[in-house]
Chain A
Amino acid sequence: MIEQEPTDDGLMAELAAQRLPALGTLYDRYGRLAYALAYRILGEAQAAEDVVHDAFLLAWRGAGSYRRERGNARGWLLSIVHHRAVDVLRRKTAFRPAPLEAAELRAGDADTAEEAARNVEHQGVRRVLETLPEAQRRTIELAYFGGYTQVELAALMGVPLGTVKGRMRIGLQKMRRALEHVP
């Protein structure tokens, strides 16, 4: 008899019941993605490993608070990873708004389009990112992968807060529309 893989919702129910094998399955499903996200933000293997470790333990302990109607399991788990990685990054970095050139050097600020280009499975995402004007793309990347708040981004880029918001909004809208046509 072929054993069927549990759905994400089934896994979360198992996790909430504190069944350890479910945590292993969740890791098998999303561990690599979680590590990639943490590594991209922090740029260090050890720090990324620690973040993923903490995130999965948080998921294990907090599975009872997971609500499907507020998002799926993948989103919930990766938001924990993102949150934790950004917190670690923010603790490590100085409070002063550095010049943009300095920000560009940070590990978490690498060019996502270029990285995507190296990842042959995701050429479609690369094409979508390349359709965005540079300012919109960098604003989105610096926020999501660089851990910068809107105030820091405004200071970094020398633009008003409204411009930061506008770049994010329009950039994400364009990505959303373009992704609808990516196979």
Chain B
Amino acid sequence: MSHAIDDLELYVLGALPRDAERVVADHLTVCVECLTEARALESTVWALQDALPAPPPPAALRDRILAAADRPAAAGLPALPGRHVSASTYALAAAVLALAVLSVGALRQVDTLRAEIDESRAIGLRVSQPGKTWYMSGIDRWQGIGGMLYAPQGSPAFVVFHDLAPAPQGQIYTIWLVDAEGRWVRGSSFAAGEGRVRMVDVGVPVAGFDRCAVTLETRAEGKREGPIVMQSRFY
């Protein structure tokens, strides 16, 4: 059996990407030797935690936690770290997110709701396929919005955006892929409608790229000129 010894320091310090971290976590469930070493390293890292001074937590936090725990289900929380999240879980989460968003629009016209439900179903179906994902988060004045790029195996990549406002007059959102050398390749452009969840095809293959971003452009082709609205992290 191969060991995870080479990655244990990275693991206990949280410096592995999440997918690699899961591989090590899985290995630790079956390898006593690596688990023993990992525990020893963790106790060293805890010394860093013990050294931390900080203002005390707000007095109300304890009650807030207990009140939330006392409710039937604390919705909207992420999965426990280290657990594998299956594609179907993503699909379910996306469907729940879409439905939650739909509830906000409950006072809209029925036709609009029906169209959004249809789109949510389509999103749920597409994100249920296994593949890679990148999350893009809004920056600067676009903080709070974001989009998950899905690259399903054997199917074109697409992005599910949330909270994206319609593009300003005369401008379009443009998806970009970025390779390890910093080369930006243009994907599709769109204006974004009123729906708070929106799916857009990337328009170009994602193989060979490791980052993605969305900008606001004034032209439907050519080099990147506009501001970056959202971007993924560097992995």
Contact = CB atoms under 8 A, between A and B. Distances in A.
Contacts of B54: 32, 35-36, 39-40
Interface string B62-77: 1011101110001001
A126 B52 CA distance: 10
Given A35-B57, A71-B39, A168-B9, A149 B52 contact: no
| Pairs A-B, 8 closest by C-beta atoms | A83-B81, A36-B54, A116-B51, A35-B57, A119-B53, A125-B51, A143-B15, A95-B233
Contacts of A164: 15
- For the residues of A in contact with B, the DSSP-based class is helix
A70 B234 contact: no
Interface string A127-141: 011000000000011
A73 interface: no
A60 B17 CA distance: 26
Contacts of B154: none
B14 A82 contact: yes
Contact of B15 (A49, A70, A94, A150): A150
Contacts of A40: 52, 54
Nearest to B39: A71
A12 interface: no
Nearest to B211: A95
Given A83-B81, A91-B135, A149 B53 contact: no
A175 interface: yes
B49 A172 contact: no
